[in-house]
Structure 1
Amino acid sequence: MTKPERPVFVVGCPRSGTTMLQLMLHAHPRIAIPPENRFVMAAYDERHRFGDLNDPENRRALARWIVERKQTRFADLGLDGRAVIEEIVAGPPTLGSALGIVLRAYAARFGKPRWGDKRPGYFQRIPALRRMFPDAQIVHLVRDARDCVASLKEMAWYKLDVQHALATWMESIDAGERAARTLGPGAYHRMYYERLIADPQAELAALCAFLGEDFDPAMCEPEKVAAVAVPGRKTWHARTHGAVSTARSGTWRERLTPAELALCETVAADRLRAHGYEPDGAGRPPLPDYTRYLRVAAHRRLAARKREAKDLLRRRDEPSEVAARLTSATV
């Protein structure tokens, strides 16, 4: 039986456990998922600047943009930049192919045939991901909104407020629902953080069945690959270097103020229940907090619609093909 080769993308609200899941997948003997990069969606959004990729010099310009710019985090992948540039130049003349070649090179670094990527915010761009990687499988990790919000507000790098954090969780849930409807069970798989940490073997076995892979017990010990797959500067991922634990699950009771908890449960009540999370009866939030949330959510929806409309317009005059030609299903 031929083994699958479809790329794997992990998405979810930030602080929902996606880095832990990245490591679990990376621990599989056939799959490699790199640290977060900043070139996949950035290259998609900037695709017009690279011109017709049928021209090798344009492919070289794209490759150098990926490899040589500090903003792309290419250095975190531990790859030979010159070799990657030449591989992109020699590769298929599509944007997805160029990006996939980088991710495939990362997998090859570990002697693994199957590649993919992880970035929580990809939940906002699933249609674009599927344009670039038509046979991609999307793995969506969901965590209790209250724990996500509590964790986000404690991150030094998170500069927004609780209203934005909650809106992000709501958007991730709605994006997952759309993906489930449009992609179907062969391309979209939802997991729950709380179930994953409570019974890693059962949840990862189900994930492997979705991916068409054999389960490997090494996946239950993600901490063993954290040193090579999580950049040391990301101190907020320190817990990934320890064994899988349920210790932080449900700690929102101590980490959210009563007003924050009331806001989460008022805004997200229906979605919480729909995904197995029972509201705690926190009551109604202060009116200023709730009205600010409504303004934030409306502004974010408008921004998302504008981004989608802009993308549709840009598709009309794309300089070259977007879809990758790296797997047997897309060649």
Structure 2
Amino acid sequence: MEPIPAKPVFIVGSPRSGTSILTWCLGQHPNIIPLDESTGLGNLTIALAICYQTKMGLGGKSLWTALNVPKGEFFSGFGQTINELILRHNVDLERRRWQEAAGPSVSPERFVTEQSAKARWVDGTPEYSFHIYGLRQLFPDARFIHIVRDVTSVVQSMLNFHRLAGVKLVANEQEAYDYWYRAVSASLLAERAYGPRVVLRLRYSELVNRSEASLRAVLHFLGEPYAAECLIPLGERINSSSVPADFRLGDLGTAPEVIDRAMRLSAELETSPQPGEGSISAAQQLETEFNQRVQYVAALDSAYVKAHSEYVKARARAKRLAKEVENKRATIRDLRTRRQRHKLRGLLLPHGTNEETT
């Protein structure tokens, strides 16, 4: 049987912009599996790039370049395997979610899976905004949906995230503005690089106010037929931060320039359309940024290995020195004891008297 082509969907953009709700909307489709936020795939692309270029012994090539394995084939081979694992074990994911919802009092034997096999999956991890190039290497046929929400609403939601999850998403207001700006900027660069056939921009306001039309457009972009059940999650408040009505922004510690640049970009997105085609220069910029990150992590790994090796050697030397110190201490204790005995004999016996004669 031919493997099912890997055609995952990634929802990118800033956290608190609707990535979760859109993931669950698409997850209601009869051909799309909704995954929990993962984060690991982005790091995997970095690790694979390092693996691909790591040289063998004293040779000048890596194993893969020596075998003439193209970089694209190397990455996509791993991507295809990941895709097959997700599709094969989807039933285990369904069972876990069902058990969590049903509770411990319900027998696992009552679980019934869907009869139709889904051929695609969607991941709404916002962090993947910074890994779009690498994810395209893993999954050349992947599609990305950049969901955009106005920065003020996002910052308010970020700062109230603890009401939902019990932990803070950002430390302060400045970090929230900066996170929104970086995630949106990275996603916009991907828009320019790959064009509307690969990356679709979707406004959060459109998803909320024109839900059916928006989802029809999204599914058309994905090449999937419209399914009305995709509207169901929009009738619920999923993963909402519940921002209090009297909550206001205005932290005096926030740098004005950080706010200004985010507000300007947010305003621009309200009126500027998505580019109509991809840009070679933008694609090259994405590739350069990815390679720079790979080199940074590789250098970091190398520095860690070197530092750890030096630590192990230093620790071994420290143990040897500690042993020597302990031996010296034992020698000193022995000499001190013998010296004290000698002094004591000197006090008890007259000078010139043989201690063995009585």
On whether the aligned pair clears a TM of 0.5, the verdict is yes
State TM-score, norm by structure 1. Answer: 0.59
2:213 alignment counterpart: 202
Change beyond 3 A, Cα 1:170–1:211: same
- One-letter amino acid matched to 1:269: M
1:14 alignment counterpart: 15
1:42 alignment counterpart: 43
CA distance in 1 between partners of 2:293 and 2:251 (Å): 40
2:195 alignment counterpart: 184
2:139 alignment counterpart: 133
CA distance in 2 between partners of 1:115 and 1:170 (Å): 27
Q: 1:188, CA displacement in angstroms?
A: 0.5
State TM-score, norm by structure 2. Answer: 0.55
2:228 paired with 1:217: yes
Change beyond 3 A, Cα 1:152–1:188: same
The SS at the match of 1:10 is strand
Q: 1:140, CA displacement in angstroms?
A: 1.0
1:175 alignment counterpart: 186
CA distance in 2 between partners of 1:103 and 1:164 (Å): 34
CA distance in 1 between partners of 2:89 and 2:151 (Å): 33
CA distance in 2 between partners of 1:182 and 1:93 (Å): 20
1:83 alignment counterpart: none
CA distance in 2 between partners of 1:191 and 1:217 (Å): 19
2:80 alignment counterpart: 97
Change beyond 3 A, Cα 1:23–1:261: farther
Q: 1:219, CA displacement in angstroms?
A: 0.7
| Structure 1 unmatched runs, 5+ | 53-91, 227-238, 278-304, 316-331
Q: 1:208, CA displacement in angstroms?
A: 1.0
Change beyond 3 A, Cα 1:308–1:4: closer
- One-letter amino acid matched to 1:161: N
Which residue of the other structure, out of 250, 253, 256, is the alignment partner of 2:249? 256
- One-letter amino acid matched to 1:27: Q
Query: How many residues of Structure 1 are paired with residues of Structure 2 in the alignment?
Result: 230
Contact 1:150 1:252 (8 Å CA) reproduced: no
- One-letter amino acid matched to 2:249: L
CA distance in 2 between partners of 1:176 and 1:268 (Å): 14
Identical positions, percent: 26
Q: Deviations over 1:277-310 (max 9, x none)?
A: 8xxxxxxxxxxxxxxxxxxxxxxxxxxx987414
Q: Deviations over 1:30-78 (max 9, x none)?
A: 11121112432233333379899xxxxxxxxxxxxxxxxxxxxxxxxxx
The SS at the match of 2:17 is coil
The SS at the match of 2:270 is coil
Q: Deviations over 1:228-282 (max 9, x none)?
A: xxxxxxxxxxx3189xxxx979x898442375697775232321221118xxxxx
The SS at the match of 2:238 is helix
CA distance in 1 between partners of 2:118 and 2:6 (Å): 11
Q: CA RMSD in A?
A: 3.8
Q: 1:151, CA displacement in angstroms?
A: 1.1
Larger Rg: 2
- One-letter amino acid matched to 2:84: I
2:138 paired with 1:122: no
Q: 1:314, CA displacement in angstroms?
A: 8.2
Which residue of the other structure, out of 275, 281, 292, is the alignment partner of 1:309? 292
Contact 1:33 1:107 (8 Å CA) reproduced: no
CA distance in 2 between partners of 1:191 and 1:114 (Å): 20
2:118 paired with 1:112: yes
Structural mapping, 1:206-285, within 5 Å: 206-222=217-233, 239-240=237-238, 254-257=247-250, 259=252, 266-276=260-270
Structural mapping, 1:153-172, within 5 Å: 153-155=159-161, 156-172=167-183
Contact 1:32 1:106 (8 Å CA) reproduced: no
Q: 1:311, CA displacement in angstroms?
A: 1.6
CA distance in 1 between partners of 2:199 and 2:49 (Å): 29
CA distance in 2 between partners of 1:308 and 1:255 (Å): 41
Contact 1:9 1:117 (8 Å CA) reproduced: yes
1:151 alignment counterpart: 157
**Larger relative CO (CA 8 A, sep 6+): 1 or 2?**
1
CA distance in 2 between partners of 1:132 and 1:107 (Å): 20
Q: Deviations over 1:182-239 (max 9, x none)?
A: 1111111011111111121011011111111111111111269x9xxxxxxxxxxxx3
Change beyond 3 A, Cα 1:150–1:264: farther
Contact 2:145 2:199 (8 Å CA) reproduced: yes
Contact 1:20 1:240 (8 Å CA) reproduced: yes
Q: 1:122, CA displacement in angstroms?
A: 0.4
